[in-house]
């Protein structure tokens, strides 16, 4: 044989030897094989005994012994095979497979949890001191509505899931329980649940004991699979669904949500701080004290009378085989002040948990700060001493309007100036009639405003400044849990719509009811429109249909807000009433003759026009050219008609 052939044979032998070495049975597999061989030997002995007894005279005693031998043979073979199969499938955790499922209850003054020995998971969570829209106890989830499994890899590449095992309950105190998954002697996996008095947070620690050689050294992560169905808790299902979303926060300040209106999913490779399953007023949140490495999140809309949505997460989690792996559940109400306080009292500052982001308060750069630093502190102060929620909303509205009154005053004063200048503006209109003189008419009108120190835009700017406050309150009221199940006047629950008329069927654009608070708001807005339209005119021709449009806006608002919370419509009603009172009161308090005299005095004091800048000169020249072009086109049209 040549050199290449010899080399080839040597390499083949080396590969075969190496393959045999790497695939030799480990200690555990060898022990399982010995047990299996022992069981086969025992079965053979039982067969030999039964055969020997069969050849002897069949006395009553020997017949009984033979029957017992056959029975023992069948039982022993079945049990040994089953144990060998379980050992092969589950390794040192085989003894924890099967068994009866039990539950252990933990509770404090705010929360009641039932924890199942099947998988060591929370099977039920009831939020005390709250009820659903039917007056029943409020459960975030019950049996078969939630599942939490941890999947891990063993040293011999078995993929095991905690849902397949029965944990042993090791009760500690009424607020703490350890659920232990036993392995071989001295080896275990503990799920430790700890509650605290007066708190919705539940500590969840996972502790491995002597499992370093059992768990795979090549798999530093474990995987959580968390699923939950979201119950309908509020009367207004459509509105509640808008705020029911799967939410998640990155280690940074970024906060995101899946779609609230359709099935949605996302694969995230960036580290996460927490994942939350929320509806309008309550949430289930799983928080990592380190981080979640990656996750696949899914949200599914359910067409079910009881459930609104189903959320599921597959999460990759770094796992320490020696120290405790710390997590925390939040199972409770989405109250901003409560959630905000957790960062200062329950978590380290560097963790930046920021659970208050569960409460949607509007666009972060503008609307959220208004709610965060003004609306919520004032409202919390009011509700701390005022038990009547309707009165608290009224007082909040008054306080906001007082704060904004300087802007309102400027707007009303601008309208008054436009009103007293109306005769002079009409005179300019009569002096320069027709479309041909439109540009000249506009120039003369603006000269008048400039001479007297008035501006039509002066009334618009204050209104624009007030808009963020109006929108911020629009975002605040539907998320304020303080309104939930609080009655006022004829509304049983200010957090959902009130119904004065129910149709029993859905009507397009209107729904299945008429809200009295929404109707009251619409009437007040129409009255407000009637009294303010006269002040908004500047003496010029109104655009066609402008009056109709102004009156249509409150009607459109009625159809939009009919399904919204009664608290929001009550706020708009109070705000419209205050605006109406300010408008009427301003007309009586302002002496329009004196105001006109002051404007005329400003006209006499007006300084001579300064030399126009190059830009203004060019702008006026462009306007003159445009006017000349329009006039030329009109003359050509007149000639063609002749």
Distances (CA, A) of 554 to 386, 519, 529, 530: 31, 10, 9, 11
Region of 342 (left: φ > 0; alpha: ψ -120 to 50; beta: rest) is alpha
The residue among 349, 337, 330, 435 whose CA lies nearest residue 377 is 337
Domain count of the chain? 3
* Nearest-angstrom CA–CA distance, 113 and 579: 50
Range with top average pLDDT, 14-28, 57-71, 449-463, 561-575 = 561-575
Of the pLDDT bands very low, low, confident and very high (cuts 50, 70, 90), residue 77 is: very low
> What was the pLDDT predicted at 157?
85
| 79 and 228 housed in the same domain | no
Same domain, 284 and 339: yes
Contact, 509 vs 503, CB < 8 A? no
- Which residue has tokens 């459509």? 238
Residue 462 banded pLDDT, cuts 50, 70, 90: low
pLDDT at 24 exceeding the cut of 60: no
Tell me, yes or no, whether 467 and 331 share the same domain: no
Q: Note the pLDDT tens digit of each residue in 558-570.
A: 888 888 899 999 9
For the segment 471-489, the average pLDDT, to the nearest whole number, is 91
Q: Which of 94-98, 239-243, 427-431, 565-569 has the lowest mean pLDDT?
A: 427-431
Mean pLDDT score, 85-92: 78
Looking at residue 280, its pLDDT comes to 92
Identify whether the C-beta of residue 138 lies closer than 8 Å to the C-beta of residue 333: no
Q: Are residues 245 and 272 in the same domain?
A: yes
Q: Please indicate, yes or no, whether residues 431 and 561 belong to a single structural domain of this protein.
A: yes
Domain co-membership, 106 together with 125: yes
Q: Say if 504 falls within a structural domain.
A: yes
The confidence band for 527, taking pLDDT boundaries of 50, 70 and 90, is: confident
Residues 327 and 415 in one domain: no
Q: Which of 46, 80, 95 is the endpoint of a domain?
A: 95
Give residue 53's pLDDT: 37
**Mean per-residue pLDDT, 388-409:** 90
45-54, 328-337, 608-617: segment of lowest average pLDDT: 45-54
Q: Of 237, 227, 203, 231, which Cα lies nearest the Cα of 137?
A: 231
Contact 314, 294 (CB under 8 A): no
Digit-coded pLDDT (tens) for 34-64: 544 444 443 344 444 344 434 444 444 444 5
In this prediction, residue 627 carries a pLDDT of 66
* Residue 636 counted as domain residue: no
State what percent of residues in the chain have pLDDT above 70: 77
Same structural domain for residues 163 and 193? yes
**pLDDT value of residue 271:** 94
Q: Are both 46 and 178 inside the same structural domain?
A: no
**pLDDT at residue 67 tops 70:** no
pLDDT at 56: 44
Number of CB atoms found within 10 A of residue 20's CB: 9
Backbone angles phi, psi at 562, to 5 degrees: -60, -30
Q: Of how many residues is the chain composed? A: 642
- Residue 195 sits in a domain of what CATH number? 2.70.98.90
The residue among 244 and 433 whose pLDDT is bigger is 244
DSSP state of 375: I
Residues 429 and 548 in one domain: yes
Range of the domain at 67: 29-95
Confidence class for position 424, pLDDT limits 50, 70, 90 = confident
Report whether pLDDT(233) > 90.
Answer: yes
**Mean of pLDDT over the chain:** 80
pLDDT grade, residue 607 (50/70/90)? Answer: low
Among the candidates 316, 342, 360, a domain finishes at: 360
C-alpha–C-alpha distance, residues 281 and 495, integer Å: 10
The interaxial angle of helices 592-605 and 438-452, nearest 10 deg, is 100
* Domain-embedded: residue 9: no
Residue listed under structure tokens 């102004």: 550
Identify the pLDDT of residue 535.
Answer: 55
Which of 360, 378, 402 is at the close of a domain? 360
Contact of 495 with 481, CB cutoff 8 Å: yes
């Amino acid at each position: 044989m040549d050199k290449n052939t010899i080399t080839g044979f040597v390499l083949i032998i080396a590969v075969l030897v190496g393959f045999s070495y790497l695939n030799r049975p480990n200690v555990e597999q060898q022990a399982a094989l010995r047990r299996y061989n022992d069981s086969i030997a025992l079965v053979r002995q039982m067969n030999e005994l039964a055969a020997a007894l069969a050849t002897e005279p069949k006395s009553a005693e020997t017949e009984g012994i033979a029957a017992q031998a056959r029975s023992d043979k069948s039982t022993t073979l079945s049990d040994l095979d089953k144990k060998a199969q379980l050992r092969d499938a589950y390794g040192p955790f085989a003894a924890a497979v099967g068994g009866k499922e039990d539950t252990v209850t933990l509770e404090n003054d705010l929360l009641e949890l039932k924890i199942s020995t099947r998988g060591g998971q929370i099977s039920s969570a009831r939020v005390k001191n709250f009820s659903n829209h039917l007056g029943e106890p409020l459960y975030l989830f019950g049996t078969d509505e939630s599942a939490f499994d941890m999947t891990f890899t063993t040293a011999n590449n078995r993929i095991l899931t905690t849902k397949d095992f029965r944990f042993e309950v090791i009760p500690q105190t009424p607020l703490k329980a350890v659920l232990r998954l036993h392995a071989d002697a001295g080896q275990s996996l503990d799920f430790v649940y700890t509650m605290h008095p007066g708190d919705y947070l539940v500590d969840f620690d996972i502790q491995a004991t002597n499992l370093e050689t059992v768990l795979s050294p090549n798999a530093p992560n474990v995987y959580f699979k968390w699923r939950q169905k979201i119950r309908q808790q509020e009367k207004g299902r459509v509105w509640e669904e808008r705020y029911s979303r799967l939410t998640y926060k990155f280690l940074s300040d970024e906060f995101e949500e899946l779609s609230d209106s359709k099935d949605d999913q996302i694969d995230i490779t960036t580290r996460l701080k927490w994942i939350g399953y929320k509806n309008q007023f309550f949430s289930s949140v799983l928080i990592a004290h380190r981080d979640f490495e990656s996750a696949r999140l899914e949200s599914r809309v359910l067409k079910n009378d009881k459930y609104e949505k189903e959320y599921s997460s597959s999460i990759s989690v770094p796992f320490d085989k020696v120290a405790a792996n710390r997590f925390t559940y939040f199972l409770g109400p989405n109250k901003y002040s409560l959630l905000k306080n957790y960062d200062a009292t329950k978590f380290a500052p560097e963790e930046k948990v920021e659970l208050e982001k569960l409460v949607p308060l509007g666009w972060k750069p503008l609307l959220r700060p208004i709610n965060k630093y003004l609306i919520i502190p004032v409202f919390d102060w009011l509700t701390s001493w005022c038990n009547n929620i309707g009165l608290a909303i009224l007082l909040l509205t008054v306080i906001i309007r007082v704060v904004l009154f300087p802007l309102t005053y400027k707007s009303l004063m601008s309208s008054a100036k436009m009103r007293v200048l109306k005769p002079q503006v009409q005179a300019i209109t009569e002096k320069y009639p027709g479309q041909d003189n439109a540009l000249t008419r506009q120039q003369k009108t603006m000269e008048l405003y400039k001479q007297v120190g008035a501006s039509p835009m002066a009334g618009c700017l204050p209104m624009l400044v007030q808009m963020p406050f109006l929108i911020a309150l629009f975002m605040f009221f539907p998320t304020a849990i303080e309104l939930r199940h609080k009655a006022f006047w004829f509304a049983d629950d200010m957090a959902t719509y009130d119904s004065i008329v129910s149709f029993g069927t859905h009507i397009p654009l209107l729904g299945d009811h008429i809200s009295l608070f929404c109707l009251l708001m619409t009437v007040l807005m129409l009255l407000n429109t009637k009294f303010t339209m006269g002040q908004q005119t500047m003496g010029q021709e109104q655009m066609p249909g402008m009056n109709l449009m102004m009156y249509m806006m409150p009607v459109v608002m009625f159809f939009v807000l009919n399904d919204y919370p009664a608290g929001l419509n009550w706020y708009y009603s109070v705000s419209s009433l205050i605006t109406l009172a300010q408008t009427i009161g301003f007309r009586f308090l302002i002496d329009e003759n004196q105001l006109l005299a002051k404007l005329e005095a400003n006209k006499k004091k007006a300084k001579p026009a300064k030399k126009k800048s190059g830009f203004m000169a060019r702008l006026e020249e462009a306007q003159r050219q445009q006017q000349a072009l329009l006039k030329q086109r009109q003359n050509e049209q007149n000639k063609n008609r002749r």
